[in-house]
Amino acid sequence: MKVLVLNGPNLGRLGRRQPEIYGSTTHAELADLCVGWGRDLGLDVEVRQTNHEGVMIDWLNGAADDGDAVVLNAAAWTHYSYAIFDACAQLTAPLVEVHISDPHQRPEEFRHTSVVTPYAVEVVAGHGIDGYRRALAIVAGGTPA
């Protein structure tokens, strides 16, 4: 099964951006981890990151067309992008929403709403980078350890 791990704005700065919230793992290291975790689960994982909403929408539309599963960290778009909401609505394979921190535990009220959740089979939040491993296990049909 092919799985797209899609990361939204500012996640390319992992390891440098607010490490007290997001940790010290870089996006390149995260991508390598996801590919390895996916291989262990029998998944073909491709990791992408963009700061451009239209690019993310194109990737989600492609996943819908190809029937690919998606692990999505839409970052800030999670909270307000109805274009992302509409693109997620088209997905036919499982979508797992993932967040490194737990948005519901963050002080900013706007982070407490997700436009992705209505289309996600599960939300994994607050587990740091390990949340991606958990999300891939869910896509593979297992229970995350």
User: For the stretch 21-50, what's the b/e string if a residue is b when 16 or more beta carbons lie within 10 angstroms of its beta carbon?
Assistant: ebbebebeebbebbbebbeebebebbbebb
Residue 99 is among the residues annotated as catalytic for this protein: yes
100 is in an annotated binding site: yes
Residue 104 is among the residues annotated as catalytic for this protein: no
21 is in an annotated binding site: no
101 is in an annotated binding site: yes
The DSSP element (H or E) to which 61 belongs, if any, is helix 53-66
Are 71 and 133 in contact by the 8 Å Cβ rule? The answer is: no
16 is in an annotated binding site: no
114 is in an annotated binding site: no
The closest alpha carbon to 96, from 21, 2, 1, 6, belongs to 6
Select which of 82, 99, 104, 112 is catalytic. 99
Could you give the 3-state DSSP secondary structure of residue 95?
Answer: strand
Select which of 22, 104, 112, 132 is catalytic. 22
Query: What's the rounded Cα separation, in Å, for the pair 25 and 129?
Result: 8
138 is in an annotated binding site: no
Which residues are documented as binding site?
Answer: 73, 79, 86, 100-101, 111
Return the active site residues: 22, 99
Which residues are documented as binding site for substrate?
Answer: 73, 79, 86, 100-101, 111
